[in-house]
Amino acid sequence: MKIKKIVTSLVLSGMVITSLPYNAFASETVDKQIQTYVAQGNLSQPGYDLVGIDSLVAKGYTGKGVKIAVLDTGIASHSDLTIAGGVSTVDYTTSYQDDHGHGTHVAGIIGGKDNNTGITGIAPAAELYAVKVMNQNSEAFNADVIEGIRWAIDHDMDIINMSIGLNNENEEMKEILDEAYSKGILIVASAGNYGNVEATGDNVLYPAKYDSVIAVGAVNDSKIRWSNSATGSKVEVVAPGVNIYSTFLNNQFAKASGTSQAAPFVAGLLALYKEAYPELSNVEIRSLLQQNTEDLGIVGRDTEYGYGLVKIPSLPNQTVETPSENKEEAATKPNEDEVEVKEPSTFTLEFSQESYQVGDLLEINGVATDENGNPLANADVRLNIRGGEKFYLYSVKTNTNGEYHFSLDLSQLRFTATNYVVEATLSHESYEAQQIGSFEIGESQPEITIFQDSNQVTSGENLKASTTVLDENGNPYNGYITVILRNEQGKEVRKNYYLIKNGVYTYNFSTRILATGIYTLEVAPRYIDGVSSSVSFTVSPR
């Protein structure tokens, strides 16, 4: 592959927060001078390997039929893009053509064509809609952004991508985003580029900070947080966002970095989820996104990586329709290749036990055979686990004996005490079947003890402490704990989740960024209400 580099002085001003009256800005890129390219062949996209996109492409998923609104600076005409429609909410033009470059770059990451030239988007067959809410300087009024969201609702969009940042909360914007989410729309936004190397502080921007929005941070090819990627409790997932090639103005391509590039990676991935599981709600698909992540940084959800790096789950093979030159004629002809759906002679669903505790290992086993008793090998078995408002989806395959095995550490996810229903669906060539079973997670009231080396530390030193958690029977507890550090006023200074194994977790808290004073360390099982323990310590001046 050869890439001819064109030296230009195109400048993206999205890094600069403008003064009033504009409220929003495009939060992007490492370099103020963007390098643009003319592609001869495909431009390499390292992020694809990180998230496993090729596995979905091989199965035929392309985002077909999924409607995505790109709220940005517009989308420029480009040989590598198909724009399904759009609108301009800015006052100076009725055109949704991009006059900046940011929106076109974002759009290509989502839906660049799969045509062996330039770049291929995550969901190349998704329907892209250009919703121009920002001007040629990547600035926007809140009112224009709100109008763009309203347009997306009224035009039945499935996904909204907002690589946009606002420093301040806006109640009207929050309300309309909540409305969009309640109507089934998935909303993705860049977390912002105002993080720091130390990963300190809560610097996630709005609208990513709203509960209805998936806040996306950026990592590099080594799965390390990009140093400017925002940190905070609202970071939900991270995605590739460094040196990302995509479409640009004047039918060219550009390489840029930032959470603006990471967010459309997630939007495109959600389109593939929507295509694979059209029956699932946006809440369920969001849960699926959270489950299928590679945990990075501190074990469990954290303020740098959220749930982790988005990954492609194991999905069933897609059925690809072969187009007919004459569909009416084809419809009248008998389908010689039509296969009769059969039920297997045997398809079982069994649990290792009826009742579990948080931290136990859930084990599910089963077997599938055809009408002659022969094993159905390499069959897809989809496990849909539901309980209360929780929803989890997994896929496994049968072995050569027709058996399938699935195990899950219940401390790894947000399982709580309740009854869970499991729907197991088998799919194998002409065989289809379903079994339904259930299991229970019982109430647990563990005992928590916190040990600390000292109740006083000098500013800059580390507070060394450990937590011991035992269940009601005195056995070591396995599961997530929530550790919160509060100041004298009760304000939350730091919050982290840790996976505790064999009942003990030891940690060091750096006091380097803490003011002198009295602090409280609170520890609680993450998914069990009403159980906690705390100790106090003093940070004294040097």
User: What integer is the mean pLDDT of 430-437?
Assistant: 90
Q: Which residues of 430-443 are buried (b: 16+ CB within 10 A; e: fewer)?
A: ebebebebebebee
Predicted local confidence at residue 313, as pLDDT: 66
- Inform me whether the pLDDT recorded for 364 exceeds 90: yes
What pLDDT is recorded for position 27?
Answer: 45
Q: Taking Cα atoms as reference points, which of 444, 159, 111 lies closest to residue 273?
A: 159
* CATH homologous superfamily, domain 2-310: Peptidase S8/S53 domain (3.40.50.200)
Domain(s) of CATH 2.60.40.1930: residues in the chain: 447-540
Tell me, yes or no, if the pTM score tops 0.95: no
What pLDDT, on a 0 to 100 scale, did the predictor assign at position 206? 95
Question: Highest mean pLDDT range out of 149-158, 196-205, 287-296, 421-430?
Answer: 149-158
Cβ-proximal residues to 368 (8 Å cutoff; 6+ apart), any chain: 344, 346, 347, 348, 375, 376, 379, 381, 398, 402, 404, 426, 428, 431, 433
Percent of the chain residues topping a pLDDT of 90: 45
Mean pLDDT in residue range 32-58: 64
> Is residue 38 scored above 80 in pLDDT?
no
Strands 380-387 and 390-397: antiparallel
Catalytic residues: 72, 102, 260
Sign of CA dihedral 117, 121, 124, 129: negative
Dihedral of CA atoms 229, 232, 234, 238 in degrees, nearest 10, equals 30
pLDDT tier at 286, thresholds 50, 70, 90: very high
Q: What pLDDT score was predicted for residue 507? A: 76
Q: Classify domain 338-441 at the CATH topology level.
A: Immunoglobulin-like (2.60.40)
Least confident of 142-151, 418-427, 527-536: 527-536
Question: What letter does residue 251 receive in the DSSP assignment?
Answer: G
**Distance, CA of 298 to CA of 294 (rounded, Å):** 12
| pLDDT-derived band at 282, boundaries 50, 70, 90 | very high
* Strands laid side by side in the 447-452 sheet: 447-452, 462-470, 504-510
Instruction: Name the band, by pLDDT with cuts 50, 70 and 90, for residue 331.
Output: very low
- What is the model's pLDDT at position 413? 60
Contact 385, 391 (CB under 8 A): yes
pLDDT band at 341 (very low <50, low <70, confident <90, very high): low
Lowest mean pLDDT across 41-50, 250-259, 300-309: 41-50
Q: Lowest mean pLDDT of 222-226, 284-288, 349-353, 526-530, name the range.
A: 526-530
What integer pLDDT is reported at residue 315 of this predicted model? 55
Residue 15 has pLDDT above 50, yes or no: no
In our burial notation (b when 16+ CB lie closer than 10 A, e otherwise), range 326-348 reads eeeeeeeeeeeeeeeeeebebbe
Q: Which of 281, 264, 284 is nearest to 160 (CA)?
A: 264
Instruction: Please list the residue range(s) of the chain that carry CATH number 3.40.50.200.
Output: 2-310
d(CA 231, CA 228): 9
Q: Is the pLDDT of residue 79 over 60?
A: yes
pLDDT number for residue 12: 34
Q: Tell me what pLDDT residue 207 has.
A: 96
pLDDT in tens, 95-143: 999 999 999 999 999 999 988 888 899 999 999 999 999 999 888 889 9
Mean pLDDT confidence for 395-409: 91
Least confident of 160-169, 225-234, 410-419: 410-419
Average model confidence (pLDDT) across the chain:
82
Q: Which of 63-72, 241-250, 406-415, 498-507 has the lowest mean pLDDT?
A: 406-415
Candidates 380, 356, 485; CA nearest to 432 is: 380
Q: Which helix (H) or strand (E) holds 53?
A: helix 53-58
CB 492 within 8 A of CB 202: no
Residues of the chain with CATH 2.60.40.10: 338-441
Given a cut of 90, whether residue 82 has pLDDT beyond it is yes
DSSP for 402-444, written as a single string: SEEEEEEETTTTT--SEEEEEEEEEEETTEEEEEEEEEEE---
pLDDT (tens digit per residue) in 156-201: 999 999 999 987 889 999 999 999 999 999 999 999 999 988 898 8
pLDDT of 19 strictly over 90: no
Given CATH 2.60.40.1930, say whether it is the number of domain 447-540: yes
Q: Dump pLDDT digits (tens) for 452-491.
A: 888 888 888 888 888 888 877 787 877 778 888 899 998 8
pLDDT of residue 450: 86
